[in-house]
Structures are given as C-alpha cells and as structure tokens.
Amino acid sequence: MELVEIINCQKQLNVYEAMLENSTIRMACLNGLTMNDVSVTNAKISDANLSDLEISEAQLGGAYIHDIGLPPAGHPHHDPKAKQRPLRFENCFLEGSTITNCNLTNVAISDCDIKGMTINGILVEELLKAYKK
C-alpha cells in the first residue's frame, strides 16, 4: 500500500473506487464534502464542527454518538452567548436505542411508534393514557 501525504496545501480531491482504510485526516477543512456509496465502519470524528451535516440512507447500527453540542465551559472555544441550533431526526429506525443524560428541553416527537418506549422506566403509552383521562 502506498502512503500519500498531503500537508499544508489546498487541493480538491475526486476519489473513486479507492481503498483508504486507516487513513487519518487532521486539522483539515472539508466543507462541502460529499460521500456516496462508501463504507465508513469504525470511523471516529472528534473535535469537529459538523453543523448542517446531513446523513441519509445510512446504516448506523452500533453507532455511539456522545458529547454533542456547543463546547462546554472551560473548553477553549466555549462561548456563553452561543445557542445550539436544533437537530432533526426523520424516518429513523431507533428501536432499542438509548438516550442518556441528554438535554431534551423543547424536543418534539410526532407521528412516531412509541410501543415500549420508556422515560425513566415509565412507559410513555401509559403516561399518555393517564394524561387523556
């Protein structure tokens, strides 16, 4: 396998039918990047600005999404005046998924199958039934 290093330069890459396993990208601007029909298993993205990222028609089984949001107090890029823009999930299969220690203030859930869904161990279906009474 050939090692290609691109350092401190501006390039536009068009990559087709390539094997780029175990590659590393650091301190790079990838604005407008498009990836289609790719395998990105075991990929890790950290300390990144993914604003306006769109992921569609993807298999995310086993994905671990954590520490998402604006930089917290104490982080060099923390801005106490900044406001996180909302995220949007549509047509997602989240059966068996877990959401833990997340700020869900003003989250809206609509037109979703909630069979078996619990909040702090309480079935949401039962909460809704009790609310309707």
| 50 phi-psi bin (left φ>0, alpha ψ -120 to 50, beta other) | alpha
Residues 38 and 17: their CA atoms lie apart, in Å, by: 9
How do residues 48-74 score in pLDDT, each as one tens digit?
A: 889 999 999 999 999 999 989 888 899
How do residues 33-46 score in pLDDT, each as one tens digit?
A: 999 999 999 999 99
What stretches of the chain show up as alpha helix (H) in DSSP? 124-132
User: Which residues make beta-bridge pairs with 114?
Assistant: none
In degrees, rounded to 5, the angle at the alpha carbon of residue 29 between the alpha carbons of residues 25 and 32 is 110
How do residues 75-129 score in pLDDT, each as one tens digit?
A: 988 999 999 899 999 999 999 999 999 999 999 999 999 999 999 999 999 999 9
Nearest CA-CA partner of 27 in 13, 6, 43: 6
